[in-house]
Structure 1
Amino acid sequence: MTVNTAPVSAGEALALLRAAHAAQGSGTLTAAWMLHGRPGIGKSDIVAQLAAETGAQLYDLRLTTIEPQDLRGLPFYDHATRRTVWYRPEDLPDDPARPAILFLDELTAAAPSLQPTVYGLLQERRVGRHHLPASCFLVAAGNGTDDGAVAYEMGTALADRLIHLHIRAEPADWLARYAVPRNLHPAVITFIRTRPDLLENSEDALRRGLTIACTPRSWVRVSDILKAIPDPRLRAPMIAGTIGDAAAAEFLLVAEEIAATVQVADLLEASKAKRPDLYPQTMTGLTALTYALIGAADAASLPKVIEVMADLRHLPRLRPDAPFARLPLAELCTHGFELLIQKALTTGLTEAFRSSAAYAEYRAERQAQGLE
């Protein structure tokens, strides 16, 4: 069956769930939500981020690993009352004073025998005599039957109990919302910025009968490999085993160029007079440098990072012998500052911008050009 609703990015899905969580907290909307999307697209990350933002305790139930009694509990015969008493599991929220998120992951892969129990949770917010507290927010997630994962068709009885969000991989959203804030390796960020079609290609891989596909989750793993394995000969087959040999061959060319030309530590340590000689001379290298500077920015380094970022737009004048005049460096500088300011706002480091002469000069130039 097709999920007949317009797809949304992961960032949009998170914003929708934020609004729904706030509405439930105010008593204006109580509903159960279903996140549809291909494997590795970031459904679990969305729910984890929502829990972190709201301070809610996350109950993460992988429905493919449990039986009906794991939700219903175990029966115990009470001789005094001559009744069967059910001991409910500890994996269900019960504290009305503490916000909680109950995440029913892999819903579409759950055994059919488990679904009646799940229906009660999603529609009536209860299992047996145990009712979920009003402070519990309900989210489910799963893959479709055409995604190459284990999945059953979702029946109408289950589908009718949910508000459905169909999540797609959107490169700009993933870079801004996830990759840059999580400080993924600059080579990964730069590559996806130039090849957004390779952020997620599982549909093409399925059509061609390939086991390995590119997904947002696999690119996070590639970033981890680059940071953990310094020997290029060892990490090359690891990366190929993560995103497939064709994507890996193209990516490794970019990664090698970046490794050879991007020297962030040297730039930050160099004097202002020597810095121009240390900038990469290709757009790929300069883009990677921009993201590397953002990743390196902290309370100690941010003043120097601002200076190095600001000088991007002056490279044609500082290095007339290099091919900088043909590159869109003003746009790259602006993009870099937007992301750097966003990081400073979230980490409480905005004072460095207020006291930076380099940033004041940059702002004055933009104002003179009518850009601010």
Structure 2
Amino acid sequence: MSINTTAISAGRALEALRAGHAAQAAGQMTTSWMLHGRPGIGKTEIVQQLAQETGSQLFDLRLTTIEPQDLRGLPFYDHDTRRTVWYRPEDLPDDPARPAILFLDELTAAAPSLQPTVYGLLQERRVGRHLLPPSTFIVAAGNAVEDGAVAYEMGTALSDRLIHLFLRPEASDWLTRYAVPRGLHPAVTAFIRTRPDLLDTTEEALRRGQMIACTPRSWSRVSTILTAVPDKALRNVLIAGTLGEAAAAEFILVAEEIAATVQASDMLALKQADRVELYPASLHGLTALVYALVALAGRETIGPAIEVMADIRRLSQLRPESEFARLPLGELCTYGFELLIDKALAEGLQEAFRDSRAYADYAAEREAAGRG
């Protein structure tokens, strides 16, 4: 059964959940939500971020690991009333004074015997006699059968209880919303910016009968491997086991080039005139430098980071290599400043831009060119 709704990025899905959460908090709308998407696309991270932003307690239920009685609770016999009474499970919200998010993960992989119990949570916001507090925001998530994951077709009785959001992988969204804020390794961010088609290869892997595919989650794992495993040969084996052999081979070549040419920390410590020779003369290298500068920028280093970023646009004048004339230096510089300004605003470092002569010169050039 196809998911006949508009496909959106993970960032757009987060915006939709924010709007829904705000509407529920204002008493305008109370409903339940369903995130559809391939494994590893970031569904769980979206819900975790929403909980963090809203100060909500997150109740994360993996429906493949529980039985119906785990949601209903355990019965005991009340001798005074001669009735069976159900003890409420601790995995459900019960504090009306504290906002909560109930995340029903792997809904489409849950056993059919569990679904009637889940219906009550999604539609009536109750299990047995236990009512969820009005401040509880409910989000479910799952994969489709065609994603190659363990999944059951969702029946109409269940799907009708939900607002459905269908997530698709989108490289620019993933880089801006996830990879850069979390400081993923510059080799990963640079590679995906130049090869966005390799952010998610699940469909191609399924078509070829291959077990391993690139996903946003696997690229995050590669970032960890690059930092945590110093042995090059072993590191390459782990990367191949995370991305698949073909994608890993291509990425490793780029990562080695970046490791050999990108010296962001050294550049920040040098005077402006001494940095010129350290700029890498390749698109992958310069892209990685941009991400490295953003990651390294802090209260003591943002000034030099602005200077290094600003000089990217002038490399064809500063260096004799013909490669620089063919590279999109202005675009890279502008993109880098967008990321750097976002970080400065988030961390209260924006004064550095007002005091920077390098940024003032860059802004004046853009205004003169009609791109201010």
Q: TM-score interval w.r.t. the shorter chain?
A: over 0.9
CA distance in 2, matches of 1:280, 1:65: 50
Give the alignment of 1:18-97 within 5 angstroms: 18-97=18-97
Deviation per residue, 1:273-318 (Å, 9 max, x gap): 2110111011111111011111111111101100110111121222
Deviates more, 1:125-134 or 1:326-335: 326-335
SS in 2 for 1:273: helix
Deviation per residue, 1:234-271 (Å, 9 max, x gap): 10000000000000000000000000000111111112
CA distance in 2, matches of 1:257, 1:271: 25
Shift of 1:323: 3.0
Give the alignment of 1:66-145 within 5 angstroms: 66-145=66-145
Residue 241 of structure 1 corresponds to which residue in structure 2?
A: 241
SS in 2 for 1:75: strand
CA distance in 2, matches of 1:204, 1:368: 46
Residue 219 of structure 1 corresponds to which residue in structure 2?
A: 219
Residue 323 of structure 1 corresponds to which residue in structure 2?
A: 323
Deviates more, 1:305-314 or 1:265-274: 265-274
CA distance in 2, matches of 1:161, 1:370: 51
SS in 2 for 1:289: helix
Residue 271 of structure 1 corresponds to which residue in structure 2?
A: 271
Residue 170 of structure 1 corresponds to which residue in structure 2?
A: 170
Shift of 1:230: 2.1
Structure 2 residues not aligned, in runs of 5+: none
SS in 1 for 2:168: coil
Structure 1 residues not aligned, in runs of 5+: none
Residue 207 of structure 1 corresponds to which residue in structure 2?
A: 207
**Residue identity in the other structure for 2:253:** L
CA distance in 2, matches of 1:255, 1:230: 14
CA contact (8 A) 1:281 1:322 kept: no
Shift of 1:208: 0.7
SS in 1 for 2:154: coil
How many residue pairs match? The answer is: 372
TM-score (norm 2): 0.99
Shift of 1:322: 5.4
SS in 2 for 1:101: strand
Shift of 1:166: 0.7
SS in 1 for 2:308: helix
**Residue identity in the other structure for 1:25:** A
Residue 300 of structure 1 corresponds to which residue in structure 2?
A: 300
CA distance in 2, matches of 1:98, 1:92: 13
CA distance in 1, matches of 2:110, 2:333: 49
CA distance in 1, matches of 2:240, 2:285: 22
Query: What's the Cα RMSD here?
Result: 0.9
SS in 2 for 1:123: helix
SS in 2 for 1:154: coil
Shift of 1:83: 1.1
CA distance in 2, matches of 1:207, 1:310: 45
Shift of 1:163: 0.7
**Residue identity in the other structure for 2:187:** A
CA distance in 2, matches of 1:12, 1:364: 33
**Residue identity in the other structure for 1:69:** Q
Residue 280 of structure 1 corresponds to which residue in structure 2?
A: 280
CA distance in 2, matches of 1:96, 1:112: 31
Shift of 1:321: 4.5
Residue 256 of structure 2 corresponds to which residue in structure 1?
A: 256
SS in 2 for 1:214: coil
